[in-house]
Structure 1
Amino acid sequence: MNLKSAACVLALSAAPILAFAQSPAPQAAAPQAPALPSVQLPPEAERILRDYEKHWSANNPAAVAALFAADGMALPNGQMPAQGAAQITAAYARNAGGPLALRAIAYSESKDMAYIVGGFAQQAGQPDGGKFIIVLKRGADGKWQIAADMDNMNSMPRRAPKPQ
C-alpha cells in the first residue's frame, strides 16, 4: 500500500480518539450489528496499540505523540489536523487521560505501510464506544510508527434541546 492508498483508507473514517469520560452523553443509537471479532496483530503493531493505551490513560499526550512518525498526522474531532509531535501533543492534551482499551478488528500490511482498523472502549471486554483507523509506516530504522490516526464514536452526541 502506498501513501496515496493510505490516504484513501483514511478518508473513509472520521476523527481521533476522544476521552469517554469527557464526551457528551450519546443519543439513543439505532440497533447495531453485532461487534466484529478481534484479530491478532503482529507483535510490533500490537505494541503500538498497547503503548497508545498506556500513554493515553496516563494523560501523557507527549508520549502518545512519540508513537507517530515525524510527519505523522492526527485528526482530532472538532479540531484542525495536527502534524508533528508538538501539534499532536497539543491536540491530544485537550482530551487525553482516562481509561482506554483498543482492539483490532482488521489489519493489513504491504511493504512499508500497514493499517489497523479497530474499536475502543473504556475497558477491555466492554462494547466498543467507537472505532478507529491507524495507518502505520515503517521508519528508516525498520520499526513501525503511526503515520495517521483517526477515530469516531459509535453514536452521535446528544443535541441540546431546541429553544421554544
Structure 2
Amino acid sequence: MRRSTLALVLLSGLLLAGPAIARESAAPSPLSRLADVALPAALDRVLRDYEQAWRTGDAKALAGLFAEDGFILQSNQPPVRGRAAIEAAYAGQGSSPLRLRALAYAAEETTGYIIGAYTYGSNVGDTGKFTLTLKRVAGGPWLIFSDMDNTNAPPRPR
C-alpha cells in the first residue's frame, strides 16, 4: 500500500509538472537567430552595394558608400573618419563572400539606421553583427555615416 501511494504521488507530480516542463523547453533560447526584416529598396541598396564592393575587394567603392565625414568602427581597431581614410582602412580587406541581413531599421527624411547581422564565406549562422547609421540630403541616396561591427566569437585568451 505504501509503495502504491508513493508511486501515485510521484506520477501525479510528473503529470502536473509536465506542462511546466514543456513550456520551459519551448521558450526561445537567447542565442536563437533573430528574424530578418525587409528593407525599403533605398536602404536595401546600401547593403547590396556594400556586399558587392566587399566581395570584389574594391576599397574605393566601399568608401564611396560613406558620407564624406563618415566613420568605420571595427572591432579591435581605432575609429576611422573620412572617406579617404576609410578607403585606406579598407584597402586589402574584402575579396570574400559577405552576406548582410537586416534585423531592424528606421528612416526619416535625412537620417536612418540599419541593425543587422553578417556572415562571411560558407559559415553557417551569423559571424557577427553591425549597426549602420545613415544620412542623406533630402531626396538623395542614403550614405553610411557610421559602420560599427563586431564578431560573435568570444575574445581569444591572451
Query: What's the TM-score, normalizing by structure 1?
Result: 0.72
Q: Do structure 1's residue 100 and structure 2's residue 98 form an aligned pair?
A: yes
Partner of 1:135 in structure 2?
Answer: 133
Distance (Å, rounded) in 2 between the aligned partners of 1:103 and 1:125: 14
- Decide which of 27, 43, 46 is 1:45's aligned counterpart: 43
Contact 1:76 1:91 (8 Å CA) reproduced: no
**Aligned amino acid, residue 142 of structure 1:** G
**Aligned amino acid, residue 98 of structure 2:** L
Shift of 1:55: 0.4
Partner of 1:68 in structure 2?
Answer: 66
Contact 1:101 1:124 (8 Å CA) reproduced: no
Point out where structure 1 has 5 or more consecutive residues left out of the alignment: 1-30
Identity of aligned residues (%): 43
Point out where structure 2 has 5 or more consecutive residues left out of the alignment: 1-28
Q: Which structure would you say has the larger RCO, counting Cα contacts within 8 Å and 6 or more residues apart?
A: 1
CA RMSD of aligned residues (A): 2.0
Contact 1:76 1:92 (8 Å CA) reproduced: no
Measured against aligned partners, the alpha-carbon deviations of 1:8-66 in whole angstroms (never above 9, x if no partner) come to xxxxxxxxxxxxxxxxxxxxxxx852111000001011011001001011111111010
Partner of 2:57 in structure 1?
Answer: 59
Partner of 1:84 in structure 2?
Answer: 82
**Aligned amino acid, residue 153 of structure 1:** T
Contact 2:70 2:145 (8 Å CA) reproduced: yes
Shift of 1:125: 9.0
Query: How many residues get paired?
Result: 130
Distance (Å, rounded) in 2 between the aligned partners of 1:83 and 1:100: 23
- Larger relative helix fraction: 2
Any runs of at least 4 consecutive aligned residues in structure 1 with deviations exceeding 3 A, and if so which?
123-126
